[in-house]
Structure 1
């Protein structure tokens, strides 16, 4: 069973500042999280039914639940989570998805 941590970001009031922080600070912090196999970031988010509720979607891939749990408990993930709350607390929704 693979695990994805998905971050759904609403449109920020200042897109340039958000993207600069996301790309230069937050993403490098996330990439240090142990057991993270891949990060995919989607910026051109659209919906077939009008305006999409999200501005940016990020998917973080983990091989299995044990590695995901270890990653979430790591100091590197705590640092990334603390940073997330400084710039996107009211913008982000996090989901954990497990494939069977």
Structure 2
């Protein structure tokens, strides 16, 4: 499996962020063709205490090629435009391949 990871720093207003993220952005993202699964983790801390990160979203695709094809769709473009609108200054994106042991 291939995944795109969105890592969000803590927003100024977590309640507003959560409401928009879960009620508007995630439903928009879930419409992306080829997206197999979405896993969201709220970051509660780190081994050293507090963490600057608030939330991690992992979006799974069958392969890198499937991700590239999905990225060309209007649904993916709408999701990307939306995330930059409400969280462009606090989000970092990473790409990765899941490794099964």
* TM-score normalised over the length of structure 2: 0.92
Partner of 1:35: 34
How far the C-alpha of 1:60 sits from its partner, in A, is 0.3
- Unpaired runs of 5+ in structure 2? none
Cα-to-partner distance string for 1:16-72 (whole Å, 9 max, x where unaligned): 111100001100011000110000000143211221121000000011111110111
CA contact (8 A) 1:9 1:55 kept: yes
- Unpaired runs of 5+ in structure 1? none
Which structure 1 residue ranges, 4+ long, deviate > 4 Å from structure 2? none
Q: Give the superposed CA RMSD.
A: 1.1
Partner of 1:19: 18
Q: How many residues align?
A: 99
Cα gap change, 1:45 to 1:72, in 2 (>3 Å): farther
Partner of 1:95: 94
**Which residues in structure 2 correspond to 1:60-79 (within 5 Å)?**
60-79=59-78
Question: C-alpha separation between the residues in 1 aligned to 2:44 and 2:30?
Answer: 22
CA contact (8 A) 2:36 2:60 kept: yes
SS in 2 for 1:55: strand
